[in-house]
Structure 1
């Protein structure tokens, strides 16, 4: 793989626990190419979400290096990490994390406003209409269903056109039909904007949509599977 978008080398993560230090991740080495979609799977406690947080610079590696778009995240301070995320990453969480006092339109416009984009609200409206929420622009999170709130969260993550899209259990709080809709939207956003996608999921059908599945067990990579179509496409 040439010039990976995301590149982890011998990464470890140790956090303080009630009974002493807890080793969450151990010697993780992983590269993700431009435009690739990678699903992180494994049992609860295997380190999937922690790995995603490291990729997003939301947790700092205890050992090893984490690089994104050629930049060393482990060498950045918190302000630099925040700027890097704002310019290059979109992150979607299981619990939506919408601002309750803002409408759907305002929530989606936030990252653009922070970046000083002049037509922030016009672009936010365009993104919401593209995912079928044109009739919900002025609604607050409490006035929307869980599926609609997750759609708003997806639009907010995608509207800055990030090079990297990270998703942590994006369908985890939703029923099957709604989760299927969110899954289609997630991959549509990836395709429309050409982002590199890494997602954590317990849903086999969602993981199966990815170019590559990385299986975690006890804080280590236990194995990887790549879709046959992807293998044929790259001649591996």
Structure 2
């Protein structure tokens, strides 16, 4: 069996609150295999998004260890983490996080340029076409619908050909039809680039498409189940 692409060992997360420290995650241990699609589910406040942030090095564990592609994220400084994410991860948030003064093409190409890709704009154009936005590449976020903005965010996440694709409620701000379209695109990007996909979702139909579903409650894993046989 292949080594995990992502591994968490006895990870805890404690954040400062108004009334003192708040324990968000308690002793999480979890392995994710290359090519696996993992859904993180659970009620609001269960720690799903915090767990995803730890996986992406966007939040630092209070204790325990997080490794990705054999690299210890807990030992990296902020610059090293940023470089690692840029080279190996794509992250999609519920609220798009597009730069309002940049066109769709520029939003997708800029991270590629920063990573030193000489074909940044060509690759960005290809990814926007792949998510159905070939005719919108020169439009600004304010000129696009929520569904179109999330497509730009997907293209931006997929353009570097990441090993890991992390998505936090990617359909949460969209209506049913747009949410379904984004869901199809998300799994299509996974298949096209061979990325390992980890997603946080409240949508039962989205979770049902994952190879495996981890359920969280009160900052602990309360369930771990395969949802469909491996192909």
What is the rounded CA distance, in whole Å, between the counterparts of 1:72 and 1:110 in structure 2? 27
Tell me what 1:77 maps to: 77
The one-character-per-residue Cα deviations of 1:124-148 (angstroms, maximum 9, x if unpaired) are 0011111110000000000000000
Q: Compute the displacement of 1:121 (Å).
A: 0.3
Once the two structures are overlaid, the 10-residue window that deviates more, 221-230 or 80-89, is 221-230
What is the rounded CA distance, in whole Å, between the counterparts of 1:66 and 1:132 in structure 2? 35
1:187 paired with 2:191, answer no
List alignment gaps of at least 5 residues for structure 1. Answer: none
- Seen in structure 2, the aligned counterparts of structure 1 residues 123 and 228 have a Cα distance that, compared at 3 Å, is closer
What is the rounded CA distance, in whole Å, between the counterparts of 1:185 and 1:2 in structure 2? 27
- Partner-residue secondary structure (3-state), 2:97: coil
Q: Compute the displacement of 1:228 (Å).
A: 3.6
The one-character-per-residue Cα deviations of 1:66-99 (angstroms, maximum 9, x if unpaired) are 0000000000000000000000000000000000
What is the rounded CA distance, in whole Å, between the counterparts of 1:146 and 1:66 in structure 2? 33
Q: Compute the displacement of 1:227 (Å).
A: 2.2
Tell me what 2:12 maps to: 12
Tell me what 1:45 maps to: 45
- 1:145-160 to structure 2, matched below 5 A, reads 145-160=145-160
Tell me what 1:125 maps to: 125
- Seen in structure 2, the aligned counterparts of structure 1 residues 228 and 93 have a Cα distance that, compared at 3 Å, is closer
- Partner-residue secondary structure (3-state), 1:134: coil
Give TM-score, length-normalised by structure 2.
Answer: 0.99
Root mean square deviation, CA, Å: 0.7
- Partner-residue secondary structure (3-state), 1:96: coil
List alignment gaps of at least 5 residues for structure 2. Answer: none
What is the rounded CA distance, in whole Å, between the counterparts of 1:128 and 1:2 in structure 2? 32
- Partner-residue secondary structure (3-state), 1:135: coil
The one-character-per-residue Cα deviations of 1:6-44 (angstroms, maximum 9, x if unpaired) are 000000000000000000000000000000000000000
Q: Compute the displacement of 1:60 (Å).
A: 0.3
- Partner-residue secondary structure (3-state), 1:50: helix
What is the rounded CA distance, in whole Å, between the counterparts of 1:212 and 1:77 in structure 2? 31
The one-character-per-residue Cα deviations of 1:135-180 (angstroms, maximum 9, x if unpaired) are 0000000000000000000000000000000000000000001000
Tell me what 1:57 maps to: 57
Q: Compute the displacement of 1:224 (Å).
A: 1.1
How many pairs were matched up? 231
Once the two structures are overlaid, the 10-residue window that deviates more, 110-119 or 165-174, is 110-119
Q: Compute the displacement of 1:2 (Å).
A: 3.2
Contact 2:212 2:228 in 1 (8 A): no
- Partner-residue secondary structure (3-state), 2:229: helix
What is the rounded CA distance, in whole Å, between the counterparts of 2:94 and 2:128 in structure 1? 19
Tell me what 2:134 maps to: 134
What is the rounded CA distance, in whole Å, between the counterparts of 1:214 and 1:227 in structure 2? 10
Poorly superposed stretches of 4+, deviation over 6 Å:
none
1:22 paired with 2:22, answer yes
- Partner-residue secondary structure (3-state), 1:198: strand
